């Protein structure tokens, strides 16, 4: 992977301390999205990684995973499926809970979203503890989808989210 392209993407991520609460260093991707060249480079790099895999479906995780996932699906001639926060999807929905540092959260997917055997790429902007991505993968597995990858713009390696995805090798453009 070209270091120049990665360096350029890295320069477009803004660190915001203490957001949304004290002690969190928030990785703000809005400068990246505001740069046409930066955003396109991100899509290029993820597309290059998975082009030979030819995913049938891209699952984007609410909400920033929608931005990258939907754009990738359109480019890669795949369908786009949203994994959403609870209570947002209108039709028959499945839910997977996952642990947070304090408490629980969950993600949902329509039960008819994935055809059995479909090759699925899960996409989000960032993997931290890996709970959200794990839950999205679990929803796909319940519908007998085959997970062919999990792609992120940013990986916070010190939180070891990749361990939670056991068996799935995450692909990330930037590691902190």
List contacts with ligand AMP (CB under 6 A): 24-27, 61, 64, 124-133, 161
What lies within 8 Å, CB to CB, of 157 at 6+ separation is 175, 176
Beta bridge partners of 147: 120
Strand stretches in 19-145, DSSP E: 25-28, 57-61, 79-83, 93-99, 104-110, 119-127
Report d(CA 15, CA 117) in Å as an integer. Answer: 39
141 is catalytic: no
Judged by beta carbon, residue 23 or residue 116, the one nearer ligand AMP is 23
Judged by beta carbon, residue 2 or residue 63, the one nearer ligand AMP is 63
Which one from 8, 14, 62, 101 is the annotated catalytic residue?
101
Judged by beta carbon, residue 54 or residue 164, the one nearer ligand AMP is 164
Q: How far is the CB of 28 from ligand AMP (least distance, A)?
A: 7
Which one from 64, 84, 108, 162 is the annotated catalytic residue?
64
64 is catalytic: yes
């Amino acid at each position: 992977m070209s270091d120049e392209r990665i360096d350029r993407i890295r320069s477009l991520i803004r660190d915001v301390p203490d957001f949304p609460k004290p002690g969190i260093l928030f990785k703000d991707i809005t400068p990246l999205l505001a740069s046409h060249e930066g955003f396109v480079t991100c899509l290029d790099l993820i597309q290059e990684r998975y082009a030979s895999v030819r995913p049938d479906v891209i699952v984007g995780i609410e909400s920033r995973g929608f931005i990258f996932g939907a754009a990738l699906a359109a480019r890669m001639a795949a369908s786009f499926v949203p994994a959403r926060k609870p209570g947002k999807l209108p039709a028959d929905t499945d839910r997977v809970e996952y642990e947070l540092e304090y408490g629980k959260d969950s993600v949902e997917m329509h039960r008819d979203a994935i055809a059995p055997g479909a090759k699925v790429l899960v996409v989000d902007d960032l993997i931290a503890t890996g709970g959200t991505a794990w839950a999205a993968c679990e929803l796909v597995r319940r519908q007998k989808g085959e997970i062919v990858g999990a792609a992120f713009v940013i990986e916070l390696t010190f939180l070891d989210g990749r361990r939670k995805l056991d068996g799935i090798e995450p692909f990330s453009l930037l590691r902190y």
